Amino acid sequence: MQQVITAFVCESLPPGSPHRKLDENTSLLESGIIDSTGVLELVQFLEGRFGVTVEDSELVPENLDSISRICSYLRRKGITSAEGAARPRAEDEYAAPRLPS
Amino acid sequence: MDFPRNALAIDPSTEAERIADFIREQVLARYRRKGVVVGLSGGVDSALVAALAVRALGAGRVLGLMLPEKESSPVSTPYALEQAQALGIEALHIDLTPVLSALGVYEQKARVITRICPVYNPDTDRTKITLPPNLLRRDGLNVYSLTVEKPDGSRLSCRLGPEDFRALAAAQNMKQRSRMIQLYLHAERLHYAVCGTTNRPEFDQGFFVKHGDGAVDLEPICHLYKGQVFALARHLGVTANILKRTPSPDTWSGGVSDEEFFFRMPYEQLDGLLCAWNGGATSQEAASALGLEPEQTARAFRELEARKRASWHLRTAPPSLLAAEPAAVCP
């Protein structure tokens, strides 16, 4: 699972980026590796690759700010391997509109 | 350092004169232009800039342009016109809706929104995008949500994916870029300069559009925090309607404030935090001065730093190898 996430983060970075040798505890936000649209890419990747639903309340640095935090978050969601929990979500499949809480 | 509580205090009279001197120097001496064009949005920043330009150059050398489109607030043009009349400046009204329609702005937006929310009706529904509220109370990442409001007041909300967000932002940014084209059309016609209206939080944090409202000849108020903008606007007699209006980008039909759309905190708090951060205060010092918890100021500082870092390209000329070229030597 960690390898898959690391590969995604590294592939999202431009070639030659000084961040490409990041470690599992590197802060993705503070190091500038992911910006606001990078967060959207990351969430889309996690939902598509691991079949989880990232709730709005879970969109916090504690869950997504480093590779190790992402792994811990996924484990708490019941994901224990790179295979994920369910089928990957199709790229053109969007969350249904919902009433605000 | 000890962040001073009065760091944001200004003497409006002195500051108005300082900025008026700056405008005169830039427009007349440096650019050698006859006057300035200011885009009047009906908000406080552009109203203040117009008032300062009048103080610097006289009403006869200031042209206001009102450039609304069909998704602008219905009060924007009346407020802008009222301000222009109070200043005694000429003001032209140009509805940008046909231009934006021809550019496909509304069509592109509708296509994206309909895909996300199939019940969306572009002819009747209002839309906006927002970030999670209240960063100081609760940590959270900058993930935008789209809200569609039906005529009966019911609302549908959906988190945006990266492609949809970028498609919407790209379409929306054509509004500011179309305004820039109009501003320069009239500036060049009159041999005027284009006066920008970006303030300090917007400039520092990248809350403007590259080659849109960021494309101007001079920025007379980009050193002023928002509270200072209001103080100066009150001093110069900006109209009450504009002074009481909630700051907004005014580009979404659903009506969205700067706080909801970008900053995630009220300007009253943002000004102090940004001023403290720019001055090198620690989160502890800022917390003590601003009456916040250190955890809140630390979170805010992280956000301010991230936004400034991500928006560096908005504030610089395009990188090039010119500086590395050897100095020209005349034969």
pLDDT, tens only, B152-166: 999 999 999 999 999
pLDDT at A85 over 80: no
Give the tens place of pLDDT for each residue, B129-140. 999 999 999 888
Which of chain B's residues have a Cβ under 8 Å away from the Cβ of A45?
A: none
B143 touching chain A per CB within 8 A: yes
Shortest Cα distance, chain B CAs vs residue A19, angstroms: 15
Amino acid in the structure at residue A32: G
pLDDT at A91 over 60: no
The predicted structure's pLDDT at residue A100: 44
Quick one: tokens of B50? 């117009």
DSSP tag of B218 = B
Better-predicted residue by pLDDT, B329 or B255: B255
Query: Residue A101's pLDDT band (boundaries 50, 70, 90)?
Result: very low
pLDDT at A31 over 80: yes
C-beta atoms of A61 and B141 within 8 A: yes
Strand stretches in B172-327, DSSP E: 193-195
Q: Which one of A30, A36, A91 makes the best mutation probe of the B interface by having the most chain B beta carbons within 10 Å?
A: A36
Give the tens place of pLDDT for each residue, B105-128. 999 999 999 999 999 999 999 999
- Contacting A residues, span 42-101, partner chain B, CB-CB under 8 Å: 43-44, 56, 59-62, 64, 94-100
How many residues are present in chain A?
101
Mean pLDDT of chain B: 95
Q: What is the rounded distance in angstroms from the CA atom of residue A60 to the CA atom of residue A70?
A: 11
Q: Which of A31-40, A49-58, B184-193, B290-299 has the lowest mean pLDDT?
A: A31-40
Which of chain A's residues have a Cβ under 8 Å away from the Cβ of B157?
A: 97-100
- Give SS3 for B195: strand
Closest by Cβ to B157, choosing from A37, A41, A97: A97
Which of chain A's residues have a Cβ under 8 Å away from the Cβ of B134?
A: none
pTM of the full predicted structure?
0.91
Contact B84, B40 (CB under 8 A): yes
What sign has the CA pseudo-torsion B261, B267, B273, B279?
Answer: positive
C-beta atoms of A37 and B141 within 8 A: no
C-beta atoms of B140 and A60 within 8 A: yes
Q: How many C-beta neighbours within 10 Å does residue A93 have? A: 10
The predicted structure's pLDDT at residue A81: 77
Closest by Cβ to B158, choosing from A35, A37, A97: A97
Better-predicted residue by pLDDT, B141 or A84: B141
Closest A-chain CA to B117: A97
Point out which residues pair with B38 in neighbouring strands: B64, B195
What number is the average pLDDT over the span B35-56?
Answer: 98
Q: How many C-beta neighbours within 10 Å does residue B325 have? A: 8
Closest B-chain CA to A48: B161
Query: Residue A2's pLDDT band (boundaries 50, 70, 90)?
Result: confident
Query: Residue B178's pLDDT band (boundaries 50, 70, 90)?
Result: very high
Give the tens place of pLDDT for each residue, B299-329. 999 999 999 999 999 999 999 998 888 776 6
Which of chain B's residues have a Cβ under 8 Å away from the Cβ of A95?
A: 158-159
The predicted structure's pLDDT at residue A92: 42
Q: What is the rounded distance in angstroms from the CA atom of residue B108 to the CA atom of residue B157?
A: 19
Query: Cβ-count burial of B162 within 10 angstroms (0-12 exposed, 13-18 middle, 19+ buried)?
Result: middle
Query: Residue B275's pLDDT band (boundaries 50, 70, 90)?
Result: very high
Which of chain B's residues have a Cβ under 8 Å away from the Cβ of A43?
A: 143
The predicted structure's pLDDT at residue A33: 84
